[in-house]
């Protein structure tokens, strides 16, 4: 059993402390080492963001002569970078970093990248229709 707590106030913090002191947690540990990780919370990207990014890539690609997939790769490489991967036959290729696990704020940067690339090419893109 894995419990995640998003600590936004003292109430949640108190629930977390109660859980860590509980018999349930001690039983779960059962003399095993356990890890408690506390890090800044980052909200997951939304389906609206993802859909809008794909829409923008389609529009931008049509205007600058790329397919949507090529435009997505271009924006991702420009905004979040690239990595080198090994292929069969001792060959390496460079591919854009993946965006599937980006949090909401970083995924917004991909959308902003569409506007930046569009502006560079003189392409006007529609305004966002999702809530940041």
CATH number of the domain residue 110 falls in: 1.10.3790.10
Closest CA to 24 of 96, 15, 41: 15
Report the SS3 class of residue 101: coil
* Confidence check: pLDDT of 90 > 70: yes
In a domain, 126, yes or no: no
In a domain, 130, yes or no: no
Let me know whether 3 and 56 are in one domain. Answer: no
Q: Which domain holds residue 30?
A: 1-41
Residues 99/15, Cβ–Cβ less than 8 Å: no
First to last CA, the chain: 32
Let me know whether 82 and 51 are in one domain. Answer: yes
Let me know whether 33 and 71 are in one domain. Answer: no
* Confidence check: pLDDT of 63 > 90: yes
In a domain, 111, yes or no: yes
* Confidence check: pLDDT of 55 > 90: yes
| Overall average pLDDT of the 62-77 stretch | 96
In a domain, 125, yes or no: no
- State the pLDDT confidence band at 11, using cuts at 50, 70 and 90: confident
- State the pLDDT confidence band at 42, using cuts at 50, 70 and 90: confident
Question: pTM here?
Answer: 0.71
Let me know whether 87 and 112 are in one domain. Answer: yes
| Overall average pLDDT of the 4-13 stretch | 82
């Amino acid at each position: 059993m894995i419990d995640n707590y998003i600590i936004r106030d003292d109430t949640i913090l108190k629930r977390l402390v109660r859980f860590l002191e509980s018999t349930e947690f001690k039983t779960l540990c059962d003399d095993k080492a356990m890890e408690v990780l506390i890090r800044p919370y980052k909200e997951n990207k939304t389906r609206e963001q993802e859909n809008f990014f794909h829409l923008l890539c389609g529009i931008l690609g049509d205007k600058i002569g790329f397919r949507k997939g090529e435009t997505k790769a271009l924006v991702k490489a420009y905004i979040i970078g690239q990595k080198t991967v090994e292929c069969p036959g001792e060959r390496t290729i460079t591919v854009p970093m993946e965006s599937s696990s980006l949090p909401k704020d970083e995924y917004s940067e991909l959308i902003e990248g569409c506007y930046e690339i569009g502006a560079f090419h003189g392409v006007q893109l529609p305004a966002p229709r999702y809530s940041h």
